[in-house]
Each structure stands twice: as C-alpha cells, then as structure tokens.
Structure 1
C-alpha cells in the first residue's frame, strides 16, 4: 500500500523535530563531559583531566559527526545541485535569449522587406506621374500603385491577425463537417480549374475544437493546393483529402495532398515561418497562422514534398472521445 504523501507543514515539523533531537543528544554528551572534566581537574589533577578530556572529547566529536552527517551530506548535495542548476538555467536562458533575438531580427527584416518594397514601387510610380501629369500611362501607373498599396494593407492585416491572440472556443465537433464546409467555399473555383477532388473520410473525426478556426485551417491548406495547381498549370489537377483516427482511438488526422509541382526540400523547412512565400502575391503568413491555430488545438502539422510530386500536409489532433454507438448497435 502506498504511504500517504506528507503535507508541507508535516514535513517542516518532522525536520524541526529531527534537528531538536540532534541538539538534545549533543547536549546529553557535552554537559556530562564538561562536568566530569571539571571534577577531575579539581580532584585527580591535570594528567587525569587531560586523558579523560582527550578521549571523551574524541567520542563526543565522533558522535556529533555521526548525528550531523546526514544533514551535512544533504546540504553539500543541495549546494552542488543548486550550482549546477544555476549554471544550466543561465546557459539555457542565454541560448533562448539568443534564439529570441535572432527570431525578432528575422521577423523585423521580413516585415521591413514585405512593406518597403511595395511602398517603394508605389512611390516611384507616383513620382513618374508627377513628372508628366498628362501622360497617358498615368492611368496604368495609378492602377499599379494602388495594387502595391493594397498589398501593403493585406500584409499589415495578416500580420495583425498573426500577432493577435486567437480566441479559441472549444466545443464538440467533427472534422468531416469542417472539411465539407471548407470545400463548399471553393466549389466555383474547383469547377473553373477542373480539379478532381478525391475524398476518403473513414471516420467522422469527433474531437473537441473550434469549428470556425478549424475551417480556416482547412481553407488555408486547400486554397494553397489550388494555388499551386493553378500557377503550375498541372495537367489533370487532383487534390486528395483523407481523414481518420489512429488505431488507439486517441487522435484524429487529416491529410491533404495535391499533384502539383511540389517544393524543394529546403523550402519545406521554411514554409511555416512568417513572411516566407513562393507566391508572387502572397503575404507569407497563411501557413504561419495555420500552424498557430493547429497549436492552439494541441495538434501538430507536418509537410512533405518533392519537386514534381506535389505537396502533402498532415494534421493530427487529440480526439474528443470514443464514437458513441448508434441506436442499432446499442440495441444489439
């Protein structure tokens, strides 16, 4: 039978009691020792006093050391552990601070690059318009300048969304419903591009999550797949969507795969970083926001791709619980 764990007050009381017993035991040796030595010095003389004082003193010292040895050992161990922990924590803090500073520098540089370039382009176009206000090209210049400023506005909007703390409202939901709702938003585009959609939904995917946030995740990933197929002009474009749960019944998963141009291995490692994009008009925050939403649900997202073999994204989430039995099964 496992013993009951002591409370903090009980542990403090036992520690104080142990120290008190050690001190009382030491006094029981010191007081008789001092009295005997004084008596021998007065009655038996200096030699008898010295002999008893030395040998008895050694005994008292040994007893004190034996009694105090566990306490001394504990203090030495604690001091050594504290030194190593302090050194380790300080080193980890320095590493984390360095990584944080590097991340901030990279993010700052990305933001500056993403906003400065379109502003510079728009400024140049406006300057050209000012040099010859009556030029026929000014209409085209103004159109391009507005597009560049729209790009800045879009980047800032996505950046604010990425920086904002997501308000995730958990409820019982199923991945199948989320996937169907996300695909409904792309029906016109799917038909226009002639993309074949292949679905394998082996499970309802019952889980606890925010349906709207999960719909955004699927929309981002499916939209990226359509963008890749459209930009590459892939013949017989195809997107596969699969959903199911693991054998233990503890997790649900979604796999989205396209047969587009794929990505280089070096690019796959960077796609979840803010402002990294391979699109001409992308902000580079879509997948960063997607990963943030997945993390908020306690899930994981993994990407795999090879040039010429499309891209694949796999999402895994904790399952809400075992599927409830149907009425027919319950009555069986």
Structure 2
C-alpha cells in the first residue's frame, strides 16, 4: 500500500476550510443562544403579564361585587355589568347579550358601547339559548361552532341580532349561565370583536365569575322587589281589614243604637197606653162637669184651660205612640227654609236675652221635601237649643241651607248646617253623641240628639257633627227630596 502524500498547500487549504466552518457554526450557535434567551425573556414577560392581568381581573371582579351590592335596579345592574365587562376583557367584546327566562320565551337584552340597543324574544329551543341555558358552566364557542349555530338561525333573528351576521361574525363567543340555588335565571353571551384575537380558555373562569355575581345581584333585586310587593299587599290587606273593622264597629254601634231606640219606642207605646186610660177619664169628667155648670159662670175659662192642656197631653201621647211607626198620611211637601225660619223666630227672644247673634244663609232655590214637618221642626229646635246652651256667654248662631246633587237618578237633596261659636264638644264625647241616654248635661236625659238622629235616619238622611273645643260646633244634616218614608203604606 502506497502512502498518499499531501502537499503543504493542500493541507493548509483544508485547515482553513475547517476553521471557516467552525466559525460559521460558532456564529449560528451564538445566534441560537440569543434567540433562546429572547424567547425565555418573552416567556417570562408573558408570565408576568398573565399574572398581572389575572390580578387586575380579580380587582375588577371585586369592584364589580362592591358596586352590585349598592345597585337596586335591574337596568342599572345590567349597564354596570356591561361597563365592567369591557374592562374585564380588554375591549375585545363587541356586544353583550343578557338572556332572561320568561315563561315560554327568552327575553334578549342587547348592549353595545354601554347602551341598550334592542330587546327581543327567542324560543327556548333556540340554538344559542339552548347552549347558554343548558351549559353547567361557562363555555367557549369558536368559529366552527358558531358557523353551525348561525346556520340554524331564522332570518328575522339574524336581522335582529346583527352581531351574529356572517359578514361581521365574531371570532368567538363566551357563554355563561346565570343561576341561583333554586333556578336558572338567565345567561351571558359575550361576542368577541372580529378584529380581536378572540377569547381564550383562560377567560372562562372570569366570565363565569361575572355571571355568578350578576345572578346573585339579580336574584337579590328580585327578592327585594318581591318583598316590597308583599309588604304593599300586606299594607293593603291591613288597610282593608281596618276599613272592614271600622264598618263592623259602625254597624254594631248602629245596631246597638237601633236596639236602644226600639226599646224606647216600646216603652213609649206602653206608657202611652197606660196614660190614655186615666186621660180619657179626666177628659170625660171635665166634659160632664162642663155640661152641669151654667154657661155664664166665670170658672168656665179654667175648664177651657184644663181641656186644652189635656188635649195637648193627648197629642203628645199620640206622638209617642206613633213616633216609631210614622204613617204616610203625615207626609207632605215641606219647606225646610220655612221650618228653619219659624224655629229661629220661635227662639229669637231667648237668643236675644242670651246675647246670641243669629245669621242665616238660605238657598232660595231649595226644593221642597216629602217629609214630616213636625218631626223636622223638632230636629231643628233641638239642635238650636243645644247650640244656645253651648253659648252661655253669648256668641253667634249661623243657619244655612243649600241644594245638593242633581235631578239625575233621584239624588236631589238639601243640606242644612247649624253652627255655633260655643264651647265645643270634647272629642271623647263625639262618638257617643247620638246614643240614647248619653248626656254631658247635669239635667239632661240623653234622648234629645238620639231622637234627632232617629228622625233624620227615618227620612233616609244623614247627620254629622264637627266640633273643636273652645271654637264651636257645626251640625250638618242632608236629606233627600223624596225619602223612603214616601213609599210607606198608609
């Protein structure tokens, strides 16, 4: 075997070539090391950014939670979530849809740039609502999944939800159910802007956290509204109960008063019957005595006085007997103005001695009533005399009348007001004022106002009293033009 001999030049050239290759490899290794170092630096920076982004998102969620606690209106709550979602996902969201369940359909509230754009309804089996409501937790839909969902949308829904239009379709969508322990109340659907890099699986915990906070806040507002509604219903029920109790108390008081008046009526009828027997005997005796005495005897005038007084007693007894059973034959057209005028004239001397000034204001167009004139005269006289008693040191008595109602439906009536400037009535006595045998006068019987109220009631009227201690009292009587008494049998 023969040895190969190399010239010195050839060896030198070979060494130079190898050195150049080593230099290239060295430079490549250095460049690779620099690239690796750059990638490691970028990775470290990315980790720091991701950690910082997570911290920022947690701070945002804490701020949202604090703000939701003081938000008590659904519209304000939704606007708050939209505003904070923009911060939470770094302005990547083009639209946020709130889906809320409402019996047979889904109400969609769409927001853009923190303003509400549209409200529409979707059926429960709508593909988006199915994904949003049925998902146990937040989910991410990418372009391929969105394409399948959009194919199932109807044209009218596409027109109302341009966020899902194929020409401007979002890059991805985040779905998160809103639910409480008791039920699912809605869902969040967050659409990513087409020019953004899209959502990442790392976004899922944050969209679910936002949905959970919103669900708790919405449920809290619903509970508050339900509680307020129940309180309103309870207050209304209590008011109705108070009204019913008041009506019951009034009815019981009227029943008691009617029972007392009925007892008085029976007593009056019994007394009238017992008095009539000796009264007839006395009248017959006077008649026989008058027949035996000479006609020119001066004592005849005493017999006439006795006969007149016995006749008055007889009329009083008849009135007592018939008072609680008024007969139709006693009814007649009656002028209230005339009755009041006569009553004032009857007591004018008494009023003048008591230094009581009388003023009147009578309605000249006051209609006539079908009524018992004598009974109404008794009512007016009793109230006027009570007013005089209340003005022991003088004062003013004012009597006024006016027409009430219209001719339509038979509601035409008259109103009588009798006012004084006397001592007034203690509020504790007002509710008992028309009860039989209730009196505040040392010498009173407690029957005057009870009989007064009974007469007014018999005429289908009403009597009310307003009084202020130290300033005076006003009695107001309203009477229909044609009362129920006009329809009684003879």
Could you say which structure has the larger radius of gyration? 2
TM-score range, shorter chain: 0.3 to 0.5
- Of Structure 1 and Structure 2, the greater strand share is in 2
Higher percent of residues as helix:
1
TM-score between the two structures when normalised by the length of structure 1: 0.47
